[in-house]
Amino acid sequence: MSHADAHPDFLRHHFHTPKQQFEAGKLGMWLFLATEVLLFGGLFCGYAVWRGNHPEMFKYGSQFLETKWGAINTAVLITSSLTMAAAVTAAQRDNRRALVTLLSLTLAGALVFLGIKYIEYSHKFHEGWFPGMKFYEKPDLQHAKTWDHSKPIIGNEPFTAAAGATGQASQSAAPTRGGPEAEPSTVALAAIGPAGLRPGALEPPQPAHDDHAEAHTTHPLQDPQRPRNAHMFFNIYFMMTGLHGLHVLGGVLLLSWLIIGAVKGRFSAQYFTPVDLGGLYWHVVDLIWIFLFPLFYLI
Amino acid sequence: MTTNEVTTPIESEPARETNYLNATTGIMSWLGTLDHKRIGVMYLVSVLMSFFVAGLFAMVIRIELMWPGETIIDQDTYNQMFTLHGAIMVFLVLIPSVPASLGNFVLPIMLGAKDVAFPRLNLFSYYLWVTGAVMAVAAILFGGVDTGWTFYVPYSTTGVDDRGAMDGVFFLTMAVFVLGFSSIFTGLNFIVTIHRLRPPGMTWFKMPLFLWAIYATGILQVMATPVIGITVLLLAVERTVGIGIFDPSLGGDPILFQHFFWFYSHPAVYIMILPPMGIISELISVHSHKHIFGYRFIAFSSVAIAIFSFLVWGHHMFVSSQSPLLNVVFSAITFSVAIPSAVKVFNWLATLYKGSISLNTPMLYALSFIFLFTIAGLTGLPLAVIATDIHLHDTYFVVAHFHYTMMGGALTGMLGGIHHWWPKITGRMYSEVWGRIACGLVFVGFNVTFFTQFVLGSLGMPRRYHDYSGPGWAQETTDLFHSLHFVSTMGSFIMALGFFLTAGYLIHSLFRGRRAPANPWGGRSLEWQCPSPPPVYNFAEPPHVGDCYDFSVLEWDEQEQGYHWRRDLAHDAGEA
């Protein structure tokens, strides 16, 4: 093109000025982040509905998450957001050494987060809190510290019509649905509208666990206090933190790519768009975790 | 398209300038292209191929229903047929149809830009579409899908003994996930392009109305599609692993699935209809050679429809045990969608009034659109009224209504757009006579097919039934439905004939068609200022930006068989 000589290397041919290219990239990133928020928004909405339908599951399940690890992870992510923001400034000031250092620190934060997540997940798997029902029976219970071979598994069976109709399958403290006189139905009773309509919803809620010491001496699967399908809490826990973890993993790849570019000196005060956009992405990943942490660990 | 080398033009014709079609050759120059025009053409071909496949499924359905009892397929095959017809038509054809194909081609040229804002993302979203199409084929190979295109729980969570089954439903839901991201990236690209690549002088209210429609569509694509993404992801996990969020037998809430699904899928019908509405705004104005009436009202009505469309999803769920209060609210908001839709229709009619109307093929499609879309809109009202909806819900009345919007509206608009921009895309003129005949056949065939279904539905024929005879059916009901279904299927044959005719003369025009002038219809927007077909970077010099509906600056050139700038104004126009 006639203006080719006036175009810096980083300017793509269909843009007129670097400013136009930067603004286009930034708008595009904001729109993409809006879609990310909406993607997680569906999960948050599902969380709200599910929690409304099964408050006892959430109350029971959330005590098995370790607030300590969650809090550390929150701190790690917020710190990495800070170093990311500083990295953008370093790029704008043409300070390549600071840029590489700060990006590396951010990457380290991401890796620490994933490491802690790994510790948490493997602990959950070890205890038998697998996502989904397909894998549920498979955990290696022999090695779980609190497993007692003489006690049965409680509240584990999927909710079937027969179980719901007779109320015999579950010995848990959760309210049984239907009575012995109810006709067996081919359609499973389940989420029957809002929580207020659930049978037994008017009874005072039973404390899922008064005594924390007891939780550590009884395996969760053998806990008589365990409400029906309590492991379902972990399904939404794994869905939400898992999808977030995938985004952190994406962030790791993105940050590595940025570090390579920074080492090669691709970014400058004139062209720092990728660093800026990567920073935006990282902040949103951070932000989503800031909502996940209290929803699962604290309330 | 052509295998001609640039250096060896056909002898009998004047040497053509290098354009986007012949600048580079070979299959790889297409598959790896970043040129928005080639990507648009690839989308167009792919979408039309999917349309053909899904159309075949529709014909199988229609033939099965011609006679009572089992005609050509059993009920399980029938369930798979209507599911695949619906899923392919919606996710592979209608959602990408106009924005990804015609929009991709025309949008940057209308802006006088060289390309969309993110050309690589554009190609990526095309390959996402291809991946989605492959997964949809995999769904057929892995046992098919019989849930209906809505994947309602529990249809989509039962029927498998082993939850780990990677079967048709799994593949089709994941295909929808991938196709959703294809759609998101297209919409995102267009929004940024319209924001940042408008040429100097083209303010928001000087843009062609097609771009307003594409912009409103882009907002819907970006804001609504992530929700279907997470929904089908959850559904796939529910089916394979069993997480108990939707499946009632695991403590999940199937109504939650419906809310999630329609939160996307209602805006999705506006993703399908808004771009064709934008096309119609162009066609009506250009082919009646008259300034569009009520520009701002049409522009804002697109945005208004986009906003309303997020607030009406519950009208799909009037009989799903949704609370009566919600029903009333959704019903009321649904009525209000009629306002911006009617604003568009009245403005189009006012544009026609005292215009110098050329009944070219694109214009015939535009008029057909107005007629069919009006019927579609008016028959939507009985479905929005809660009392009548309880009678009409899940009957052929609903089927007829949404085929009038989706096919009579969206597809007719797209066909109009294809005929309008065909000379620009291919550089060839198609046969006008055959074009008009085919348009007439499609119009007549369509009305015979689907108007009959309004009658069927109001008489009580349920949708998704492969048979309407046997125990429980009165003989006179069976006879009545048989005659109506028979007429409906006859109409679909007429329509199919029209489509084959269209395919025939369009393909014929590629090889035998007259060379197209730069501006065959007298369009004023920027794409008519570059040659047909356009060169690789669209414009050698920045085009002349002005009022894109001011046709007074154009005059007919008999020799060129096209329009060009009035000689006395040529010095203004940036082209000699």
Q: What is the pLDDT of residues B134-186, one digit of tens each?
A: 999 889 888 888 888 999 988 888 765 555 566 888 899 999 999 999 999 99
**Where is pLDDT greater, at A59 or A258?**
A258
Closest CA to B111 of B539, B533, B516, B414: B539
Would you say residue B23 lies in a domain? no
Would you say residue B28 lies in a domain? no
Question: Which residues does chain B have within 8 Å of residue A13's beta carbon, measured at their own beta carbons?
Answer: 114-115, 537
Contact B516, B426 (CB under 8 A): yes
Angle at which helix B209-240 crosses helix A18-53, to 10 degrees, equals 40
User: CA separation (Å) from A59 to A46, A65, A158, B492?
Assistant: 17, 11, 19, 57
Which member of B114, B118, B250 has the closest CB to residue A28? B118
* Res A191 pLDDT > 50: no
Cα end-to-end distance, chain A, whole Å: 60
Residue A133 DSSP symbol: S
Instruction: Give the type of residue at A125.
Output: F
State the Cα angle at B212 between B210 and B218, rounded to 5°.
Answer: 105
Rounded Cα gap, residues B343 and B336, in angstroms? 12
In the prediction, which pLDDT does B330 show?
A: 95
Is B260 in Cβ contact with A27 (below 8 Å)? no
Which member of A23, A134, A191 has the closest CB to residue B251? A191
- Chain B contact for A232, CB < 8 A? yes
Would you say residue B19 lies in a domain? no
| pTM recorded for the entire structure | 0.87
Instruction: Give the type of residue at B318.
Output: F
Tell the burial category of B511 from Cβ atoms under 10 Å away from its Cβ (0-12, 13-18, 19+).
exposed
Number of domains in chain B: 1
Would you say residue B16 lies in a domain? no
Would you say residue B243 lies in a domain? yes
Would you say residue B6 lies in a domain? no
Would you say residue B567 lies in a domain? yes
Confidence band for B566, pLDDT divided at 50, 70 and 90: confident
Is B226 in Cβ contact with A232 (below 8 Å)? no
**DSSP assignment of B124-161:** HHHHHHHHHHHHHHHHHHTT---STTTT-TTTTTSS-S
Instruction: Give the type of residue at B394.
Output: D
DSSP SS3 for A180:
coil
- Chain B contact for A10, CB < 8 A? no
* pLDDT tens for each residue of B27-71: 889 999 999 999 999 999 999 999 999 999 999 999 999 999 998
* pLDDT tens for each residue of B499-538: 999 999 999 999 999 999 999 999 999 999 888 899 998 8
- Chain A contact for B349, CB < 8 A? no
Residue A284's Cβ-side half-sphere holds a number of Cα atoms within 13 Å equal to 21
Omega prior to B154 cis, within 30 of 0: yes
Rounded Cα gap, residues A86 and A106, in angstroms? 10
- Mean pLDDT value of segment B247-264: 88
Is B229 in Cβ contact with A191 (below 8 Å)? no
Which member of A14, A42, A158 has the closest CB to residue B231? A42
| φ, ψ (nearest 5 deg) of residue B146 | -135, 35
Is A190 in Cβ contact with B251 (below 8 Å)? yes
State the Cα angle at B244 between A217 and A171, rounded to 5°.
Answer: 45
User: CA separation (Å) from B576 to B536, B543, B567?
Assistant: 21, 12, 8
Contact B40, B104 (CB under 8 A): yes
Q: Which structural domains are found in chain A, ordered by start?
A: 27-127+232-298 (1.20.120.80)
- Chain B contact for A159, CB < 8 A? yes
DSSP SS3 for B552:
helix
Question: Which residues does chain B have within 8 Å of residue A160's beta carbon, measured at their own beta carbons?
Answer: 249
Which of A 33-92 lie inside 8 A of B, CB atoms? 34-36, 38-43, 45-46, 49-50, 53-54
- Mean pLDDT value of segment A89-112: 95
**What percent of chain A shows pLDDT beyond 90?**
46
Could you tell me which residues come within 8 angstroms of residue A257 by beta carbon, excluding any fewer than 6 positions away?
none
Q: How far is CA A101 from the centre of its chain?
A: 28
- Which residues, listed in sequence order, are joined to residue B462 by a DSSP beta bridge? B395
Contact B346, B293 (CB under 8 A): no
User: CA separation (Å) from B181 to A8, B29, B126, B178, B271?
Assistant: 32, 25, 10, 5, 14
Indicate which CATH number applies to the domain containing B228. Answer: 1.20.210.10
Which of A 97-126 lie inside 8 A of B, CB atoms? none
Would you say residue B275 lies in a domain? yes
Which member of B192, B248, B537 has the closest CB to residue A24? B192
In terms of residue numbers, what domain contains B409?
A: 34-573
Q: How far is CA B138 from the centre of its chain?
A: 24
In the prediction, which pLDDT does B354 show?
A: 93
